[in-house]
Each structure stands twice: as structure tokens, then as C-alpha cells.
A = this chain, B = another copy of it.
Amino acid sequence: MFDTIHEECGVFGIYDKTGKTDVVRSAYYALFALQHRGQESSGIAVNDDGVITLHKDLGLVPEVFDEETLARLGKGTMALGHVRYSTTGSSQAANSQPLLVHHIKGAMALAHNGNLTNATELRESLELDGAIFQTTADTEVISYEITRARLVEGSIEKAVERAMYELKGAYSMVIMSPQKLIAARDPNGFRPLCIGKRDDAIIFASESCALSCLGAEFIRDIEPGEIVVMGPEGLKSIKTHCTGKNHMCIFEFVYIARPDSVIEGVSVHEARKKAGAILAKDYPVEADVVIGAPDSGLDAALGYAEASGIPYGVGFVKNRYIGRTFIQPTQNEREDAVRIKLTAMKATVAGKRVVLVDDSIVRGTTCRRIVGLLREAGATEVHLRISSPPFTNPCYFGVDIDSKDKLIACQMTIPEVRKSLGADSLGYLSIAGVRSIAEESGCDFCIGCFTGRYPVDPPANAYKSRFETKLSEKG
């Protein structure tokens, strides 16, 4: 019901050659920690002495896995896990990951987060060479590229290295071969990927929160362009594709990542608080309380409150029992829909001038209702502060932002947005502001969704969208 940015994907890999770690269960728990990155499908592949077994399906981790499926996966020395994001269009079981393929050198499982900008071209070229595709996921294109490279290279890591010359765009991936677990990140470093360690096990994960939940130690982020290989002989790094660039997606800090993750050396929680603090400086207001929109606006609200000296308050109670099977109110009860999920806290806002902080505005529908709930609960003024600049451009690197005609910032001026949302004032974080929220990282962040300027060229044929539809139409 809420209009939101669709998250993307989370990847996880673990390798313990001693066999002491229950790698399947570790993957299972880690995927819970990464579930916020994707709720459409979940999958785990396990490698037991070269034999790879896979279970994946549409659904959240607890929906896809139970004692029986975990038992069927059994034991092994390596496991690969993946959670995939949810959009309506391409919600199909075939696109679930990890992808398990068999090729001339054996089996290979891949889990990928990101978006290739030249997937269409690569696919066409492969098809002209007799390839068939069973999914619409980039992962299958990557599998082919690695497989083809493998025909002329002596090792899986060499094949990955060779294939990376072909791949354009964003990819943070983990690959499991019969003997090795390999993590690779695109040369721009759009998506995060880090290495951790617990006892004898080496772990790769999209975010450090997956390490924390396992009680593992964070080692370091994988560099943009780096290939890290964990095999029987230990850890090895290949840096052929490293260029020193780092165009990490700023939206990981704004919204996507879990607040307790640390990315490129910066705490996500702190970056959000800093965004709030900048807003407080740039858009000060006389008010009685600062509240955040749950859950994504809470950290920035705290930052705003601290910087402004206005007390922080709990503005809403979110119903934690509403899940996927919740029966939506019918059209004429729509007004109630937000109210059932979110209740404004009268004790906090009644008779008060309220600063409401949220991370972003997509269509504005939810934001408008939230402002309305505050008014109903007696707020005398509602000052809206957004901890990122207005969305005005598509993302080609793995985040599924809404279509242009649905984005409120593409349809209205900021004063119009303010009016449309019913707020007394509205302040968006500036471009300079968003650039600085994690500046200690030293990254030259990709902020293309705000500016339209991207670190690498967007795909040739403008907007990708319904890839599978186009394919079918050709037939």
C-alpha cells in the first residue's frame, strides 16, 4: 500500500573448509539480516564436496525455508544465499537466485546484486551464438559470460576476471564453484560487498549487519573492481579491474542499507543522523517536537532533533502484526488503510508544532496521509523535512525507482509538492548535503537519481523496464 522505493538484492557467501560451521544455517540466519534488501524471493545453495544443492522460491526467508528444507540442503563447506527484491512486473519464480548452472567444467552457483547496463546487448550476442535463456535476470547473462571465458581460461577466477571485461554497470556478486567461493564487485563499486571472518570461516555479504548477526568479525569492504577468491589454499585477491574509483550509491546510506551496517567505513545510522543535522541547519523552524516517519525517517529525525535542540518524540506507533496476508481495506475504506498500519501518537503531537522527517518522497501518497494523521491527532503545524534531494531521474544500477510520471518531484515544483502534501513547510536535503552525509568514506558517490548525471553511461536503449515482455514480443 505504501509507495516506496523497491529495494534490490542481498548476497551472502560462506566458506569453512574445516566443515565445523553449519554453513546452511549460517546462510539462513544471515539472510534474515539481509531481508530488507529484497522480499520477493530467497534462496540458498550448499556445496558438499563439489556437489551443489539448491533450494529457492518466491517468498521471504521464513516462508521459503523450514526445518525440512534446511535438512534437505544438508551440510557442506560452502553456502551461497540470496534475497531478491520485489516488483510486480517480473515477479517470477524463474528469476529467483542463486542461479545454479552446469557447464563444461562442472557446476556453478551465482548470487548477484546490481544491474548490468549492457545486458540486452550481451544477451543478443549470446543468442546469436545459440544461447538459450530461462530467466530474465542479469545473472544468467553473467553465467554465460563466465562459462564462455572458462572455455579459454584455466581457472574459475581467471574466467571471472576475463568476463568482467564484458560486463558494464553495477554488480556485486558471489560465485560458488565446486572448489571455490568468489566475490566480485564492479569497477565503479555501485553496490556494497564486504568480507568477514568467524573462526575458520570466510564470509562475503552485501552488508556488515549480516556479519554482526552471526557474531563474525568485519574484515574490510571488497574494493570496486576487486575479485576475492576463497579456496582450499586460502584467500586471494585479484585487482586487475581496480581503478581507484568508488561510485557507491548514496541511496544505500539514505534508505537501502540497515542502520547498523557500516559501508566504506561509515555507519549508516550516523550518516542518516548527519543528514538530519544538515536539514536542521539548512531548514530551521520554530517547533515543539521532531518526529520521524517509521521506520526509515527515525535516524534522521534524531539527527535533526539533536542539531536543532528541539525535543525528539515518538510520533507514530506502527502495527507490527500486519504482514503479507493482511487484507487491504476496500476502496471506500482506503482512508483507513494508513491508519490501521500507523497511528499518530496524540500525546506527542496534539497541540504541537511538529517537524516530521522522512527519507524521501516517491509518489507522495503515503507522505500526504501521514501528514493528515498528524493533523487529525491535533498537530498545529507540520514541517516536513526530507533527508535526500528530490528524485527526478531513473536509476540504472539496481534500484527500482518508480516511473517518471509517478514521481511527484517530476510533476510539481517544490512549493506545489508542499501544498499537495498539506505541510506547512518543506525542506529537501541539498545535493551538496547528500554528498556530505558519508564524506569520511572518501567515495565519489553516484547521485544520478537526483542529478541525472551518472558515473557510467546509461543503457543505449534508454529505459529498460519490462525486459521479458519485449523478448516475448519478438517471438
What is A's interface to B at a CB cutoff of 8 Å?
22, 25, 28-29, 32-33, 35-36, 50-52, 54, 60-63, 65-67, 70, 94, 99-108, 124, 127-134, 136, 143-144, 147-148, 151, 177-179, 209, 212-215, 258-260, 262, 267, 269-270, 295, 298-299, 302, 306, 311-314, 317, 319-323, 325-327, 329-330, 333, 335-336, 339-340, 343-348, 469, 471-475
**Contacts A129-B130, A345-B259; A25 near B333 (Cβ below 8 A):** yes
Nearest 3 interchain pairs by C-beta: A106-B475, A178-B475, A267-B347
- Complex formed: what's the CA distance from A177 to B302 in Å? 50
Q: Return the chain B residue nearest A39 by Cβ.
A: B321
Flag if B321 contacts A302 (CB, 8 Å): no
Flag if A321 contacts B473 (CB, 8 Å): no
Which residue of B314, B327, B329 is within 8 Å of A298 (Cβ)? Answer: B314
- Complex formed: what's the CA distance from A466 to B464 in Å? 41
**Contacts A29-B336, A131-B131; A317 near B67 (Cβ below 8 A):** no
Q: Return the chain B residue nearest A54 by Cβ.
A: B94
- 13 A-B pairs whose Cβ atoms sit less than 8 Å apart in the complex: A50-B475, A51-B473, A94-B100, A102-B132, A105-B475, A130-B147, A132-B147, A260-B345, A260-B347, A262-B347, A269-B347, A298-B314, A302-B313
**Contacts A319-B32, A319-B33; A213 near B347 (Cβ below 8 A):** no
- Complex formed: what's the CA distance from A345 to B302 in Å? 14
Instruction: Give the residues in chain B near A54, CB-CB below 8 Å.
Output: 94
- Complex formed: what's the CA distance from A60 to B324 in Å? 13
Residue among A63, A102, A129, A471 with the highest chain B CB neighbour number at 10 A = A102
**Contacts A179-B475, A475-B179; A327 near B70 (Cβ below 8 A):** yes
- Complex formed: what's the CA distance from A333 to B311 in Å? 41
Instruction: Give the residues in chain B near A326, CB-CB below 8 Å.
Output: 32, 62
Instruction: Give the residues in chain B near A262, CB-CB below 8 Å.
Output: 346-347
Task: Determine how close the nearest CB of chain B comes to the CB of A180; give it in whole angstroms.
Answer: 10
